[in-house]
Amino acid sequence: MTDASPLPTALVLLDYFGIAVFAVSGALLAAEKKQTLVTFIFFAVITGVGGGTLRDLLIGAPVFWVHSNAMLLICIAAALIVWLTSRRRFAGRALLWFDAAGITAYATYGAAKALAYGLAPVPAFAMGVMTACVGGIIRDVLAGEPSILMRPELYVTAAALSAGLFVGLALAGLVPWLAALVAVVAGFALRAAAISRGWSLPQYRD
């Protein structure tokens, strides 16, 4: 494995942002199920760090949250905020827009970290998508909800666009922070169009 190079601060901030967004979404699902505070925290943690944990295990990196207090504290804080605040403040389209920013930020960061650990471009792209989507998949499975993978809406596709763009632009020699900006904006724009216009992928017809 190639030694990892330090990631720019702007990319590290994408990681924190993605964790916070998905921790909130996990806690919100616990709120919909009218669960206890312990379940709120569990869902916030598993959703916030699930994708990044699998990514780090696969690329041979130290699992990002086990050597720092910050990641779990972000998840716990997200759970407490949702617990103490009416779910109506988060529910609806506002959360969709917040989540759209989260998946694209997390996909971009995941791809960047994979490249920093010496992965080839295609696996690095896959790690970006995984980072953005696996936590939500685990959350939905544990809650007995339909997984995002089983929905035609442009969700995973937006994460794939961000991860793919970052990898491509990074390989083309664009500075990391600018490649990340383009990738996040493009992925967010696609997800925004899906939310506002109801865009979805075509479904298989027998």
CA proximity to 131, closest of 4, 10, 17: 17
User: Judging by beta carbons within 10 Å of its beta carbon (0-12, 13-18, 19+), is residue 159 exposed, middle or buried?
Assistant: buried
**Whether the predicted pLDDT of 44 surpasses 60:** yes
Instruction: Work out the pLDDT band at 95, boundaries 50, 70, 90.
Output: low
**Whether the predicted pLDDT of 122 surpasses 80:** yes
The 10 Å Cβ neighbour count of residue 67 is 8
Q: Is the full-model pTM beyond 0.95?
A: no
Q: What is the pLDDT of residues 56-80, one digit of tens each?
A: 999 999 999 999 999 999 999 999 9
Residue listed under structure tokens 């997390």: 106
Beta carbons within 8 Å of 58's beta carbon, 6+ residues apart: 127, 130
- Where do the H-state alpha helices sit in 117-205? 121-143, 156-171, 176-197
Q: Cα(164)–Cα(110) distance, rounded to whole angstroms?
A: 11
Q: What is the pLDDT of residues 127-147, one digit of tens each?
A: 999 999 998 889 889 988 888
Mean pLDDT across the stretch 19-24? 90
Q: Cα(143)–Cα(30) distance, rounded to whole angstroms?
A: 8
Q: Cα(138)–Cα(195) distance, rounded to whole angstroms?
A: 23
Q: For the CA atoms of 143, 146, 149, 154, what is the dihedral angle to 10 degrees?
A: -110
